[in-house]
Amino acid sequence: MNSMLIIGAGEAGVRAAITLRELDSNVPITIVETEKGDPYERPPLSKTGLTDALFEPKSIVTKAQLAEKHIQFITGVFVASIDAQAKQVTLSNHKKLMFGKLLIATGASARTLSFANTSEEDLEHFVFTLRTASDCQRIRSKVLAGQKVVLIGAGFIGLELAASLRAQQIKVTVLETQPRILQRAVPEAVARILHKAHHQNGTEIKLNSSIENVTFDHQAHIKLTSGKQIEADWLVVGIGSIPNVNLAQQAGLAIENGIKVDTHMQTSHKDIYAAGDVCSFPYALTQQRVRLESWRCAQEQAAIAAQNMLGNNTVYDLAPWFWSDQYDLGLQMVGLPEGAAHPVTRTLGTSSCLHFEVNDENQLLSACGIGVGNQIAKDIKLSERLINQRKTVSIEKLADPSFKLKDLLKK
């Protein structure tokens, strides 16, 4: 029987296993995961993971539930190598596992900074990243009200962390090399509202700021290229991630900003698939190759990969969706602005707006919104339908706050 092997028990790996079992009650399924414990959700780590009184990673599924579904779950070991030709993997405990089809869902790792002349002890004591539950626990054990913390990078991780740390009376400074926050991720109108919220909540954001060097004694001393020096009790590096492609690379799979897959989530080897943060894929609307770090994207890609591992021919062609919560604001975006020709902003109030990107054919490519709580959720949902249905839109109507987006769907 064609056995299914999955490397990684994050969002993509687990969802693929569950989908495989839903589609085939008999196929042997095995997941191999380096971390021990139940598979858990990553998005809460930078949000409630730091502010909840007790830290309890939110399970995607429990070991017992996997066992009930007859899914073998091997934890505490890692896949040391993949032999694509022999269709087998070797584990770190030297055991070998054969596969009929393989899914690589190894995710990504936090990008780090190198600090000159710094001991391992100093790095352990002063420097943090946030990617895993153990990273979250390390930060939680460090938190004390009144501390001064520097966050390097004003991306989503840095800003969500800033909001969580401010909630615990920590003095937060965010350093960003770019001229604004979330420079590559969100439109300026949305970034402006978010920046203002951070300012009002006491977070200091220093833009156009590059680090010259960092030294450690009883504190971290960060010297900027401007000559200014900042002291911190500890610091967090939040400067993006690197896809975990080493295994795939050693196995001879094509790599292009992640493991290169086609619209079926298939790699350059016909029996090996990849999904989630580790892979890059041709985005259906523009055919540009992208790599996305999105909770729902990982779920959707995993479901497509699972179907195709069982012999189907399903294409991944959905608009990606992403969200972030900071203070009382909810930010959501759907689609990708690649190929956009017409930017449109709909102002909804002092702390709320929607921004749309439209191409030359008047098709909606992306929507990004921010507002208190779930204020813009419904409009983003409608935008998602407009994008996925390839609807043409009116730029004037997109800009008009009194016009209901659902009326564009009726065309």
Cβ pair 83, 63 in contact under 8 A: no
Q: What is the predicted pLDDT for the residue at 116?
A: 85
Q: What is the predicted pLDDT for the residue at 256?
A: 98
Say yes or no to pLDDT of 411 above 70: no
Q: Which helix (H) or strand (E) holds 199?
A: helix 188-200
Q: Which helix (H) or strand (E) holds 7?
A: strand 4-7
Tell me the two tokens of residue 150: 């520097």
Looking at the DSSP bridge assignments, the partners of residue 367 are 334, 356
- Provide the pairing of β-strand 241-243 with 108-110: antiparallel
Say yes or no to pLDDT of 96 above 90: yes
Residues 6 or more apart whose CB falls under 8 angstroms from that of 200 comprise none
C-alpha–C-alpha distance, residues 143 and 27, integer Å:
46
Identity (one letter) of the amino acid at 1? M
Give the three-state DSSP class for 189: helix
Q: Name the band, by pLDDT with cuts 50, 70 and 90, for residue 340.
A: confident
Q: Minimum mean pLDDT among 26-30, 47-51, 172-176, 209-213: which range? A: 47-51
End-to-end CA distance of the chain: 49
C-alpha–C-alpha distance, residues 335 and 332, integer Å:
11
Q: In the chain, how long is the greatest CA-to-CA distance?
A: 65
What average pLDDT score do residues 333-353 get? 93
Q: What is the predicted pLDDT for the residue at 1?
A: 60
Q: 295-309 and 11-23 are packed helices; what angle lies between their axes, rounded to 10 degrees?
A: 40
- Phi then psi for residue 351, to 5 deg, are -125, 30
Q: Which helix (H) or strand (E) holds 396?
A: helix 395-399
What the chain holds in terms of domains, given with CATH numbers, is 4-109+242-309 (3.50.50.60), 112-237 (3.50.50.60), 328-409 (3.30.390.30)
Q: What is the predicted pLDDT for the residue at 117?
A: 84
Q: What is the DSSP string of 251-303?
A: TT--BSSSEE--TTSB-SSTTEEE-GGGEEEE-TTT--EE----HHHHHHHHH
Give the percent of the chain with pLDDT over 90. 93
C-alpha–C-alpha distance, residues 351 and 200, integer Å:
12
What average pLDDT score do residues 368-372 get? 97
Say yes or no to pLDDT of 71 above 70: yes
Q: What is the predicted pLDDT for the residue at 149?
A: 98
What predicted TM-score, i.e. pTM, was given to this entire model? 0.95
Cβ pair 165, 147 in contact under 8 A: no
Residues 6 or more apart whose CB falls under 8 angstroms from that of 221 comprise 214, 215, 229, 230, 231
Looking at the DSSP bridge assignments, the partners of residue 347 are 353
What average pLDDT score do residues 84-110 get? 97
Q: Which helix (H) or strand (E) holds 8?
A: none
What average pLDDT score do residues 72-89 get? 97
Q: pLDDT averaged over the chain?
A: 95
Tell me the two tokens of residue 32: 């191999």
What average pLDDT score do residues 221-239 get? 97
Q: What is the DSSP string of 338-377?
A: TT--EEEEEEEETTEEEEEEE-TT-BEEEEEEEEETTTTH
Q: Which among 184, 320, 294 has a CA at the least distance from the CA of 239?
A: 184
